[in-house]
Homo-oligomer: A and B are copies of this chain.
Amino acid sequence: MIYDVYSEACPTRLVLDRLADKWVLLVLGRLTEGPMRFNHLRREIEGVSQKVLSQTLKRLERDGLVTRQAFPTVPVTVEYAITPLGRTLSETAQALARWAETNIEAVMAAQAAYDAQAGGQTSRATT
């Protein structure tokens, strides 16, 4: 079967929607460095809430991109690791993060120019 993300009914559209998520990209990026406990991940990814990180990890586990292993300590220790499939995705995801880090200044300059120009304009048609 041929998959096409531009087709509305194609299941790849759902996956693309899932992957195109800031937290997914950041979690996978950190897990490429090695398995990590929940609380460690949470500290590494500034600004993520416990609830959102927990949901993100559960979705990634369901998608086969991350594994979850519980150790019978008191309290239970849970470690997350990236799968080989997740690693192939992470390389792509990392490229997006790197793009943001490399080109942020160009984007901010464009935004400033746009805002300066838009301030002097009346409303325009958008279609």
Contact = CB atoms under 8 A, between A and B. Distances in A.
A4 B97 CA distance: 9
Interface string A10-40: 0111011101111011100110000000110
Q: How many copies does the complex hold?
A: 2
Interface in A41-72: 44-47, 50, 54, 57-58, 61-65, 70
A39 B125 CA distance: 13
Contacts of A97: 5, 12, 16
A16 B22 contact: yes
B78 A127 contact: yes
A103 B89 contact: yes
Nearest to A1: B105
B115 A20 contact: no
Interface string A82-93: 000100110011
